[in-house]
Structure 1
């Protein structure tokens, strides 16, 4: 029986059959496999399993108990075997996952294309979003759980049907609904910006007042801090710790944060807003979503020189075209949307408290901009010219952050509590 070790995961490939004739041998082999002290789970790969008897099930059950339920039964490709795992209750004890269907996307109509993937039309009822950033199936499984948790508590979003494997990577299959990006609708109907900005502000407030299961979802602040691992290649150790200190000073809340909120990640279906691209969804303080919007609709638009350095944009590339590719609308429309959105979101606050909230937002926008800067080079080798430009961008946003003291944050966050 073949076993492979990938970090804290142990993968064991099950044989084609587990029944009376080989049960004793299978049991002996599987229990003889050594497990690292720090292992997180054991994946039983059932891609070749075509039959399992009741005796075989008892062996698996015995092994599950041995490893304290840290088992995933994965890649079940035989329908009858999957049915057995479900009907005998195994799927209630451990995670039992089917082998993803394979879809060849060659020749399929492309409905949309973004920085991390494409959306294909499968048929009149389904679309397929394929990730091109090397996203593993395990990550998509975690994201699927996020979708289900978010959908269960009433957050307006589209839930994927299943995970599939394609010749371009893994992806999700979604229902094909008659909808459009909010950003596209704004471009077509700029006169409706007042209405759309109010609806968007209401959606943000709904997220900020809806609680999540913190045992299932991730803390946005903790994920953000983790994203700065290795940032010392751009900044000093002292400055890296300063960034982390600001993140740690964020009051933790168990309410929803989208994590990548802008009009390009909101769909309109019968004028109802639906959130998409839930990769960064988690719990935390609402300032993270407002800071993300500030980064996209304020910094990106107003700081051309900085963002050209951040993304290594060639001089011949028209900046307006770059902004439109990110925002899915012109700079003018994006700025107009953001101005109205801020007015709607902070409505009811005194001018003093509104200014405190905007000041706080800018601090966290600086953090998000620094993360953008680092993400574009994380894990890859770049030449000296690119690294120099990245360091200049980092210094620009650090100098802005350093205008503030962490001791100021409680007072600024107290203003946010009035929303």
Structure 2
């Protein structure tokens, strides 16, 4: 039986490997106490039981001691046999215990979407799986599940994951979508339907933006999240450029509307001729301009391989967007619609670069492309962008 402790700024992981039976429990307890004594301050302790083959009653007492010592305590990657013991003895009710995830393979599966945080594959006719980028934490995956459920309860047609899995060393979420296809795939197959699909696309935005997120919801503040993402990309841009992006964000009015924040054509699925949302990891509340600016950044001014990411030629994606935004603002005076479009385009400059915060493993070529585009899209138009965004205070 071996033990190992890694403490990362108060977030510590204790790995248990082997059989924690009566014969070794005294020595294991002493080893753990020695590791804890020399580890420094620990706020959150996770026991990684992925390699724990067996546990006896004396081993359970060690876990109980740790749970009493650390308020933030959980056991993860528990195999079936050990989980059954923890369940029968009531440990699963006293503390957080997470089963080991089953392994799936996506070898040979069709790729139906590529985004900043992961790739979506079709497993079969009935299910798809989103595989998250290397380095994504389980808490981040759980957030996507939570946001999907929140949006569903609020009335949005949303795909709900029924299983969290591992794909190699990465996390995955499996969704059931009977005979569904992405909006991009449908449009690519039948480009003559662009006007019909644009109306559906606009309707999805309007339906979502009509929902007011209650104050007690766990849905996060989208504007605060966007500011944090801008601060995260300071590693790539000098402070004066970061300050300019923050100035643009400061013009966004407060609101409590439900926002997807990545509703490009591969993140909407068509099922029975109705659109539904997927990829809910960035859901938040705020002003609709944030959602529309994010979508414009993806559908019109995307940085990167457009057809690979969006799934259709840029010209077709731009046409879809232009028709959809006209339907979104249908009924407003022409001069108001023209201003709204300018506001969306101006604020989309933030998302053009803040999306780099979605991962710390983007290729250097992508980062350099963004650096080169910043002056062209933002710096040269600084005063115009700020002037347009200042008019956002009149957008009710």
Identify whether the pair has TM-score above 0.5, normalized to the shorter chain.
yes
Looking at structure 2, the residues matched to 344 and 335 of structure 1 have their Cα atoms a distance apart, in angstroms, of 14
1:333 matched residue in structure 2: 316
**RMSD, aligned α-carbons:** 3.6
TM-score by structure 2 length?
Answer: 0.81
Residues 163 and 173 of structure 2 are in contact (CA less than 8 Å); yes or no, is this contact kept in structure 1?
yes
> 1:147 Cα shift?
3.3
Distance (Å, rounded) in 2 between the aligned partners of 1:353 and 1:212: 29
More strand by share: 2
- Cα deviation, residue 11, structure 1: 0.7
Whether the aligned pair in 2 keeps the contact of 1:363 and 1:401 (CA below 8 Å) is: no
Moved more, 245-254 or 116-125: 116-125
**2-side partners of 1:223 and 1:362: how far apart?**
20
Q: Give, in angstroms, the shift of residue 269 of structure 1.
A: 0.7
Alignment of 1:16-415 (within 5 A): 16=18, 26-32=28-34, 33-34=36-37, 36-37=40-41, 39-52=42-55, 56-57=59-60, 59-68=62-71, 70-77=72-79, 79-86=80-87, 90-106=91-107, 108-112=108-112, 114=114, 118-122=119-123, 125-167=126-168, 169-175=170-176, 177-208=178-209, 209-211=211-213, 216-229=218-231, 231-232=233-234, 235-300=237-302, 311=304, 322-371=305-354, 382=364, 387=368, 390-398=370-378, 399-405=380-386, 409=390, 411-415=391-395
How far, CA to CA, are the matches of 1:81 and 1:233 in structure 2? 44
Q: 1:168 Cα shift?
A: 6.9
Equivalent residue of 2:322, what SS? helix
SS of structure 1 residue aligned to 2:157: coil
Q: Point out where structure 2 has 5 or more consecutive residues left out of the alignment.
A: none
Alpha-carbon distance in structure 2 between the residues aligned to 1:335 and 1:380? 25
TM-score normalized by the length of structure 1: 0.77
C-alpha distance in structure 1 between counterparts of 2:144 and 2:261, whole Å? 13
What count of residue pairs does the alignment treat as equivalent?
389
Contact 2:260/2:283 (<8 A) preserved: yes
1:383-418 alpha-carbon deviations (Å, 9 max, x no partner): 8x984x644411122233432448963x52432x2x
Over 3 Å counting, the alpha-carbon distance change for 1:238 and 1:105 in structure 2 is closer
Q: Which runs of 5+ in 1 are unaligned?
A: 301-306, 312-321
Per-residue deviation at 1:9? 1.6
Q: Distance in 2 between matches of 1:268 and 1:193?
A: 14
Q: 1:265 to 1:11 in 2, by over 3 A?
A: same
Per-residue deviation at 1:118?
Answer: 4.7
Taking structure 1 as reference, are residues 55 and 392 closer, same or farther at Cα in structure 2, changes over 3 Å only?
A: closer
* Partner Cα separation in structure 2 for residue 86 and residue 212 of structure 1: 36
Alpha carbons of structure 1 residues 254 and 283: separation in structure 2 relative to 1, 3 Å: same
Tell me, in whole angstroms, the C-alpha distance in 2 between the residues paired with 1:4 and 1:210.
Answer: 43
Please report how far the alpha carbon of residue 43 of structure 1 lies from its aligned counterpart in structure 2 after TM superposition. Answer: 0.6
- 2:67 and 2:169 mapped to 1: Cα distance? 34
Distance 1:347 1:361 in 2: 16
Deviation string for 1:269-298 (max 9, x for gaps)? 111211122232233322122112222333
Structure 1 position 143, deviation (Å): 2.9
Is the contact between residue 255 and residue 283 of structure 1 (CA under 8 Å) also seen in structure 2? yes
- CA–CA distance in structure 2, aligned partners of residues 211 and 90 of structure 1: 36
Determine the C-alpha separation between the residues in 2 that align with 1:262 and 1:150: 17
